[in-house]
Amino acid sequence: MKKVLMLLAAAALLVSCGKDNKDENPANEFAGATYSGTVSVVYKGETVETPNVTIDAMVEENATTMDLLFHQIQFVPAMPAMDVMVPGIPFTIDAAGKVTFGGEDIIPTTYPNPMPVERYKVSGFTGTIEGDKISFSLNFGAFPTSYTGTETK
Amino acid sequence: MKWIATLLIFLLSVGTRAETPDTEVSDTLSAATVAASMKLPLRLDRLASPFTSAFVMEMEQRGLGSPRALSAIVPNLHIPDYGSAMTSSVYLRGFGSRIDNPVLGLYIDDIPVLDKNLYDFDFLDIRRADLLRGPQGTLYGRNAMTGVLSLATLGPSVWQGGRAAAEYGSGGTFSARASWYGDRIGIAAGFRHTDGFYTNEFDGKKADPSDAVSLRLRHERRLREDLQLDQTLSASWLKQGGWPYRQSVGGEVLPVQYNDGSAYRRISVLAGNKLVWKRERYTLHSMTSLQGLFDRMDIDQDFTTASMFTLTQRQRQGALTQEMVFKPVPKVSWWDSQSGVFAFVRYNAMHAPVRFKEDGIRTLILDNANAHIPAYFGKLAFDENEFVIGSDFGLFSYNAALYHESYFTFGRWSLTAGVRIDHEGNHMSYDSQALVHYRLTGTMSDGTPLMPSSRSFETVYEGDRDLFYFQVLPKISALYDFGEAQAWATVSKGYKSGGFNTQLFSDILQGQMMDGMMADMGVHLDGAGEGTTASKTAYKPETSLSAEIGGRYAHGGVRLSGSLFYILCRNQQITVFPPGKNTGRMMANAGRSVSYGAEVEAAYTHGGLSLSGAWGYAHAAFQDYSDGNSDYAGCRIPYAPEHTLSLRGSYRFDFSGRRVRSLTVGLDGSGVGRIWWNEDNSLSQPFYLLMGADVTLSFEHFDLFCTGANLLDREYDTFYFKSVGNSFFQRGKPRRLSAGVRVTF
C-alpha cells in the first residue's frame, strides 16, 4: 500500500509538473517578430493592395498579449502613410507552435507618440502565426483590412 | 583687440636699425607712375588687357570714395548700391554673383582681399586704382575671373606731408579724414557718418544710418641696400543699418517697412608685410598678410511688418596669405619672366541662427503641416511663440598655387605666355539644431485631449563635407606696338572659387524637423526625407575662358582705347531660391553661359579742358540653364547690366593770384541698364543716366569743393529679389549734395 501511495504521489508530482509546463507563458515560445507582406484594404467597395508593408509583432516577457505595429499603412489612398499600433492583442499558442490572436474593440494609437485613434477602432480581429507566416483580418474602423506576410530575417 | 596692438608693435619694430629710405617720388598725387601691383611686370599701357586707372586727385574731386564708386568710370563694371556693406556684389562683363565669391579679385597694396564682405569700404588715401578687365587668373588666381582691382595707398616713399578733409552733405552725411606721411611712417584715419536716405515706415526711423572709422599705418624703409620693407596695417570699424527693400504688391511698390531691427557690424584688420629683395641676378618679392574679419549681420529676413523670421550671421574669420614672386634679371633682351607661389589658409567660425517668430511659425511651418495632418488629430501647435534654428559652421579653406609668365619682345611684337596651377580645398563642419514643444489639438469623443501634454522634439543635423579642386589657368597674348598706338589680342582663363551654401542649412533643418515631427506623430508625408541634404550644399568653381582683341591710341591730349571680348563661362554660379516657401537662398552651378561685348574709353585734355567717356556693352546670356522647372537657355543673366556709360567734362580755370590757384567745374553722367532682375527676364530696369557735378576752388594750401550726385533726382531700382514668395525692390539713392574742404600741408 505504501508503495502504491508513493507511486500515486510520484504520478501526481509528474502530473503536477506536467501541468506547470503546460501553463507556462507561451511568450516563452513566441517572443515577437517582424513581418513584411501585403495589406489589403476594402475602400469604397474595392480592394486596395499595398505591398511591402512591415509589421512588428511585439511581445513583452511573460505577457499574454502582443502589440502589432503597422509601419506606414494607408487605409485610404489619399491619406498620408501612418505608423499605427494595435496594443494588447490576446494570443495563445498551441503545442505545434501556432499562434492564434484576435480581439474586439481595441483602440489603436499612433506611434511612437501614442495618441488614441478612435476612428480606426479595431473589430473582428482574428489572425494566426504559423512558422514564419502571419495572416490576419480586422476592421480598422470602417475599413475591412487583411494582411499576409512573411517573417523577415 | 590686444593682439592687434601686439601685431602693431611687432610690425613697427621690425628693422629698427635700418637705414633711412630714399624718397624716390615726392609728389605723385595726381598721376603716379609707380606700379600698383608687384605682379605687373610691364607698364600698364603695354599690357594686352584693357584697364582703367584712377588717381587720388581725380577720385577725390569726383567723389569716388569706394570701390563701388568705380562703377561710374569703368566700362562694364557694376557694383550696385543695395542692402548693406556686406552685400557688395560685383558685376563685370556680364558676370557676377550676389553672394559668396566675387568675380573680381581685389588687392590692396598687394594684399589679396579674400572675403567679399570686405569689398565695400571707404577709400582712405588710395593713391591709385587700376582695374584690369578680362580674366587675370594666371597672375592673380582665384576670383580674378573677369578682372582684378589693384589699389595702392599713399605711403612715405611716394609722398610726404599731411592731408586732411571734411565734408558734409545730404542725408546728414559727415565725413572727415586726416593723414600724415613722414620719412618712414604714414598714418591715416577717417570717419564717416550718415543718417541714412531711406525711412522705415514701420517705426519712422531711418533704415540705413551708418558710422564707419578707418585707420591705416604704413611703414616703409630700406633695411639694406638691396632689401626694401613695406608694412601696412589697416583696421576699420563699421556699424550700419540697411536693406531698405520695398515690397511690390500688384504692381504697387510699398514703402520700406519692416519690424525687426536690421544692422550690420564689421571690424576688419588687414596687416601686410612686403619685402623686396633686389639682387644682382633677380628680384624677389614677398608679401605676407594677416586678415581678420569679425562681423555680424541681423536682418528681418521677410522685410515686412509681419513677425516671420530673422537671421543673424556672425563670423569670426582669420586668414594668413603668403606670396613670393621671383623675377630674374633678363639675360637676353627678348625674354623676361616672373614666377610665383601663393598660398593661404583661412578659418571662419560662423554662427548663423534663424529665429522663427509667431507669423513665420504659423505661415511657414504650421499651415504647411496642418494641410497634411488628418483632421481627426486637430491642428498642430507649438508652445513657443518663437524658436531658433541654430547653425554653427567651421569653415576651413586653403589654396596653393604656382604660376609663371614669360614675356617675349621681338621688334614691335610683345608676346606673353603663362600658366597657373591652382589648388583649393574647403572643409565645412556643420551643426544645426532646433528644439520645439508641439501638441495636437484634437480630442476624443468624450472630450479627452489626444495629447494631454506637449511633447518636446529636438532635431539635430551635424556632420562635415569636403570640396577639393584643381584649376589650370593659362594665358597667351600678343601686342603690336605702332608707336602711338598698340593693338593686342589675349586668350586667358579665370575662375571663381567654389564653396558651400551655408545659408541652406536652416531650410534643411526646417525640413528635417517637420519630417521628424510628423514621423513622431506616426505620419509620413509624401516626399518626406527627400529634401535637400548637406551633400547638395557644395557648389563647384565657376570658370571663364576669354578671347579678346583691342587697341589703344595716345597722342598729345588724346587717349583712346577699345576692346571686343567673348567669354565662355562654365559651371556658372547663380543664386537661386529653392522652390516653395523656403527661407534661404542657395548658390547653384547653373550651367553654361556666354558673354560678348565691347568697351570703349576716350579722353581728351587741352589746357584746362578735360573730356572723357567710357561705354561698355555686354550681352550675357545663359546657353544651358534649367532649374528643374523652367529652361532659361537664351535668357539674359540677371543683375548684370547690358550697358554702362560714363561721361565727364570739366574745365579748370587757372588764376595767377597768390591765394586762389584754380577753379574746376565738372559735369558727369553715369548710366546703367538694362538690368534683368530674374532668370526668365520678365522684370528689368531700363537704362538710366544719373547726372553729377562738382566744383573745386583751389587755394594754395586747401581746396573748397562741392559735389552733387543724381542731380535730376532720377528714380530707379538698384535691386530686386523674391523672398517667401514676395517681390522686393530697392530704389536708388535720391539727389545728394555735399560740400567740404581739403587741406594739404
Among A56, A79, A85, A115, which would you mutate to test the B interface (most chain B Cβ atoms within 10 Å of its Cβ)? A115
Give tens-digit pLDDT for B716-732: 999 998 888 889 999 99
- C-alpha B202/C-alpha B207 separation (Å) is 10
Q: How confident is the model at residue B474 (pLDDT cuts 50, 70, 90)?
A: very high
Position B151 scores a pLDDT of: 94
Query: Percent of chain A having pLDDT more than 70?
Result: 81
- pLDDT exceeds cutoff 60 at B145: yes
Instruction: Name the residue in chain A with its Cα closest to that of B450.
Output: A115
DSSP letter, residue B454:
-
Residue range B641-684, pLDDT digits in tens = 999 999 999 999 999 877 889 999 999 999 998 999 988 999 99
Q: How far is CA B384 from CA B192, B355, B707, in A?
A: 42, 11, 53
Distance CA B221, CA B232 (A): 12
Q: Is the pLDDT of residue B157 over 60?
A: yes
Instruction: Provide CB contacts within 8 A for B361, sequence distance 6+.
Output: B382, B384, B385, B386, B387
Burial class (CB in 10 A: 0-12, 13-18, 19+), A140: buried
Eight-state DSSP code of residue B494:
E
Instruction: Indicate the pTM of the whole model.
Output: 0.86
Q: Does A48 touch chain B (CB under 8 A)?
A: no
Distance CA B65, CA B292 (A): 23
Average the pLDDT over B373-393 and give the result.
Answer: 90
End-to-end CA distance of chain A: 58
Closest by Cβ to B450, choosing from A80, A111, A115: A115
For residue B718 the three cell numbers come to 538698384
Prior bond of B192 cis (ω within 30°): no
User: DSSP code of B18?
Assistant: P
DSSP state of B443: B
Interchain contact, A80 vs B521, CB within 8 Å: no
DSSP, collapsed to helix, strand or coil, labels residue B95 as strand
Report CB contact under 8 Å: B523, A80: yes
| Residue labelled with grid coordinates 552725411 | B173
CB B622 within 8 A of CB B639: no
Flag whether residue A118 sits within 8 Å of chain B, measured between CB atoms: yes
Kindly list the residues from chain A whose CB atom is less than 8 angstroms away from the CB atom of residue B456: none
A70, A74, A109, A110: best to mutate for the B interface, most B CBs within 10 A: A110
What's residue B628's pLDDT?
67
pLDDT at A19: 41
pLDDT at B392 over 90: yes
Mutation test of the interface with chain A: which of B437, B444, B454, choosing the one with the most A Cβ atoms within 10 A? Answer: B444
Judge contact between B293 and B266, C-beta under 8 A: yes
Q: Cα B441 from chain centroid? A: 50
Which residues in B lie closer than 8 A to residue A83 (C-beta atoms)?
A: 519, 522-524
A117 vs B376, B455, B519: nearest CB: B376
Residue B162: other Cβ atoms inside 10 A: 13
Q: Is the dihedral of CA B53, B57, B62, B68 positive or negative?
A: positive
Scanning every residue of chain A, which has its alpha carbon at the shortest distance from the alpha carbon of B445? A118
Radius of gyration of chain A (CA): 20
Contact A116 B450 (CB under 8 A): yes
Among the listed residues B733, B728, B721, B644, the one whose alpha carbon sits nearest the alpha carbon of residue B687: B644
B577/B78: higher pLDDT: B78
Interface with A, mutate which of B440, B448, B453, B521 (most A CBs under 10 A): B521
Q: How far is CA B402 from the centre of its chain?
A: 25
Whether A112 contacts chain B with CB within 8 A: yes
For B58, the 3-state DSSP assignment is: helix
pLDDT exceeds 90 at position A31: no
Q: What percent of chain B has pLDDT over 70?
A: 92
Query: Which segments within B364-412 are labelled E, that is strand?
Result: 380-382, 387-410
Contact: A118, B444; criterion CB under 8 Å: yes
Q: What does the alpha-carbon distance between residue B642 and residue A153 come to, in Å, rounded to a whole number?
A: 65
B517 touches chain A (CB under 8 A): no
Nearest-Cα residue of chain A relative to residue B525: A80
- d(C-alpha A112, C-alpha A109), whole Å: 9
Q: pLDDT tier at B584 (50, 70, 90 boundaries)? A: low
| pLDDT confidence band for B328 (50 / 70 / 90) | very high
Q: What is the mean pLDDT of residues B605-616?
A: 95
Mean per-residue pLDDT, B146-150: 93
Q: Give pLDDT, residue B577.
A: 59
Q: Which of B386, B97, B247, B87 is closest to B724 using CA atoms?
A: B247
| Chain A residue closest in CA terms to B374 | A79
- Does B374 contact A at CB distance below 8 Å? yes
Among chain A residues, the shortest Cα distance to B523 is held by: A82
Chain position carrying cell 589658409: B345
What digits encode the pLDDT tens for the residues B79-100? 998 888 887 789 999 998 877 7
The predicted model gives B533-559 an average pLDDT of 91
| Chain B CB contacts of A79 below 8 Å | 374
Chain A partners within 8 Å of B529 (Cβ): none
- pLDDT tops 80 at residue B692: yes
Contacts of B523 in chain A (CB under 8 A): 80-83, 110
**What mean pLDDT is reported for chain B?**
89
> Does pLDDT of B104 surpass 80?
yes
Q: Are B514 and B370 in contact (CB under 8 A)?
A: no
Judge whether B455 is closer than 8 Å to chain A, CB to CB. yes
Counting every residue, how long is chain A? 153
CA–CA separation, B612 vs B61, rounded Å?
A: 15
Which is nearest to B730 in space by CA: B249, B253, B244? B244
In chain B, residues with a C-beta closer than 8 Å to the C-beta of A87 are: none
Query: What mean pLDDT is predicted for residues B286-308?
Result: 94
| Residues with Cβ within 8 Å of residue B743, at least 6 apart in sequence | B162, B163, B164, B165, B701, B702, B703
Nearest to A115 among B372, B451, B524 (CB): B451
Q: Is B61 helix (H, G, I), strand (E, B) or coil?
A: helix
Q: How confident is the model at residue B488, as a pLDDT?
A: 95
